[in-house]
Amino acid sequence: MARHGSSLRLLAAAMLLLAPTPGQTVIGQQPQMLELAVKATYLPKFMAYVAWPPAAMPSAAEPAQLCVIGRDPFGPRLEQAVAGQRVEQHPVVLRRLATTEGAAGCRLAFVGGSPGQSAAAALKALQGAPVLTVTDARLGPARGMVHFELSGGRVRFHIDEAGAASSDLAISSRLLALALTVQPREKHR
């Protein structure tokens, strides 16, 4: 748990320190590069706040796969963010895929959409799989379990906890507390 607290502080710091200040617009080259760096930093950190079903866990010798499906707006920023990251005892590795074909083993998938498969089609293909899906409002309206958006000049995100639950994923309340909005899971009666 101490590790989660430390990661959460780093995630919150990224939100506050790397995000543009109030009044600063995100138009132009530098702010957009900063925005992409913040989003790239978030992606591997999200993995520490999700519980996957036991059957979806990689074996002790396998890495935790963070996949980019379709458009990759991050380039080397994501490679830098993933470098040295671990989820539990698993090193995080980055995979880039054109479509969801071959996405078996992905624990987190940033879905950007491509000419070969729209973001909506990719999300549908991943529906029910134990994969945390992440989307970005800049790339279109399709929404994954986590959806990036600029709010007040800062990178923020929405969480669809109900969608995560339908894929047998549990998102930590610590991460839920940082979200702009949360679509809650259904309560059992």
For the four alpha carbons of 146, 150, 12 and 174, in that order, the dihedral sign comes to negative
Residue 20 binned pLDDT confidence (cut-offs 50, 70, 90): very low
Burial of 18 (0-12, 13-18, 19+ CB in 10 A): middle
**Against a cut of 0.95, is the pTM above it?**
no
Q: Give 69's contacts (C-beta < 8 A, 6+ positions apart).
A: 97, 98, 99, 100, 103, 106, 109, 110, 111, 112, 114, 117, 122
> What is the pLDDT, as a whole number, of residue 130?
96
Residue 175 or 9, more confident: 175
**pLDDT per residue over 93-151, tens digit each?**
999 999 999 999 999 999 999 999 999 999 999 999 999 999 999 999 999 999 999 99
Q: What are the tens digits of pLDDT across the range 36-58? A: 999 999 999 999 999 999 888 77
Domain ranges of the chain: 2-183
The residue to which tokens 């059992």 are assigned: 188
Look at residue 16 in the predicted model and tell me its pLDDT: 42
Question: For domain 2-183, which CATH number applies: 3.40.50, 3.90.1070, 2.10.110, 1.10.1060?
Answer: 3.40.50
